[in-house]
Amino acid sequence: MTERAHEPEPESRGPAGPGPLRRRAALLAPILFVGLLLVPLEGLSPEAHRLAAIFAAVIVLWVTEVVPIAVTALLIAPVMVMADVTDAKSAFAPYADPLLFLFVGGFMIARAMMRHGLDRRIALAMVSMKGIGGRPARVRFAFMVTGMILSMWISNTATTAILLPILIGLLKDDGEGQSRSATSGSLLAVAYAASLGGLGTPVGSPPNLIAMGFLEDHGIELSFFDWVSVGFPTAVVLVGVTFVLFQWKHPPITMRLPAQTGEGGAVARTWTRGEVVTAISFGIAVVGWMTPGLFHAADLPGADTIKKLLPGGGVAIIAASLLYFVPDTGGKEPVLPWHDGIKIDWGLIMLFGGGISLGRQMFATGLAEAIARGFVSFTGVSDLWTLVVIVTFFTIFFTETCSNTATSNMLSPLVIAIAVELGVSPIPPVLAVGLAASCAFMLPVATGPNAIAYGTGRIDQPTMIRAGFMLNILSAIIIIVILRVLCPLYGWT
């Protein structure tokens, strides 16, 4: 997703459409739907029975992506109404969930950052810092940290699209032997860091907000700061582990500094009005998002009032509105013209709404509870941390072939139901789903960053699979350990 293209890329998939095998597999959707409607399912209400058929069809369509996953999400509400699972008001209300507007405002601010080159300025400034010194390991680390920081606030796909062309310009690569291995290692390391950075904030990756949304539906409200207190340490540790892993497996080759390639001028140029206003808008959003959590953490008077007055979605919209009020240089257009601002990824927003709608009805009809009982009976899981281990590993490998947003939408309500069935806190396992859903590193189609890195032509699939498999395992272990340490500390168990 680059400003030059002016078109948003999907957050969680590669550019390739569904192949013939997936199109044939999609035939399972109507077969499962009709089959489950005809087969008696004991212990389910008629509404839960019909919802089970819809849920099965949705899973197939989301996994195969024979149609865009956002289209499937849009169909969820009307199909539930037509199947008499619920009424129209209940089915469509989640498409305007307050958390959804946190996406809208955040996406608009990110759009302005790309329009005016603020994201590129930040990237070049960080990799040109004193102390980098042209040393290959330091340059690679600087790119990884830059990717992590940027993707905490803008799309990980956009972050990768910004950084990889700059990185390729710094590489001295003859395309053969060890040099090719080092080149692919640097590209993969930066792409993976961009994915991992998304764990750091609720707006960094859609699964984060989805997890928070489902917890909120069950009376558990995590603030922006609450998520950061878990997500940011996880992102930092995982980026550090990724750096060490690639230093070991794919040591970097000699690189040039940005100033030596002519890129450094982008850092030194005068700030434009668009960049300044965008930076102010971004700053307002961050302060607004963090303030309620900081007041609560510090136990300051008025914390509850601040939380009520500064909802995440409201802060995002107010901060983004500045971009439309202030004119850009020349005064002909605002900093973010509406014709550009509306090009945010509305499909991802609808996917969020559809998933929340489906999840709420799974609880309302008792379907989630029935599935939870079956899971507990089948696996024999009986305690919180065994559940967290199972959920984390399953999520990471499941999301290799399914959108991370769809994965979080499917698994979060089920995990909550299982936790309720076991009588344990749903917070750690739901956090595990949210964090693990962004940790798919094996396949080019698993995430946007993977697809962009693979699309450079400098990475072969076996290299990505080997490196990605190791990182998948390490990510699962680290997520489990961090949750095991921090959740009891925060009283979330």
What's this model's pTM, rounded to 2 decimal places? 0.80
Q: Are 398 and 433 in contact (CB under 8 A)?
A: no
The pLDDT of residue 259: 47
Report the sign of the C-alpha dihedral through residues 83, 89, 90, 92, in that order: positive
* CA quadruple 414, 484, 293, 142: dihedral sign: negative
Do residues 435 and 234 touch, judged by C-beta distance below 8 A? Answer: yes
Tens digit of each residue's pLDDT, the chain (493 residues) = 333 333 334 444 444 455 666 667 678 888 889 998 888 887 889 999 999 999 889 888 887 778 888 888 899 999 999 999 999 999 999 898 887 888 888 889 888 988 998 888 887 777 777 776 667 788 889 889 999 998 898 888 878 888 887 787 776 544 444 455 567 788 899 999 999 999 999 988 889 988 998 998 888 988 889 999 999 999 999 999 999 999 888 887 655 555 444 444 555 578 899 999 999 998 998 888 888 888 877 778 888 898 889 888 899 899 999 999 999 887 789 999 999 999 888 887 888 888 889 888 988 888 888 888 888 878 888 899 999 999 999 999 888 877 788 888 888 999 999 999 899 999 999 999 999 999 989 878 678 788 888 877 788 878 888 889 999 999 999 999 999 999 999 999 8
Between CA 356 and CA 486 the distance in angstroms is: 27
Distance CA 281, CA 270 (A): 19
Q: Are 432 and 391 in contact (CB under 8 A)?
A: yes
Residue 39 CB neighbour total at 10 angstroms: 10
Tell me the C-alpha distance between 466 and 448, whole Å.
19
Rg of the chain on CA atoms, in Å: 23
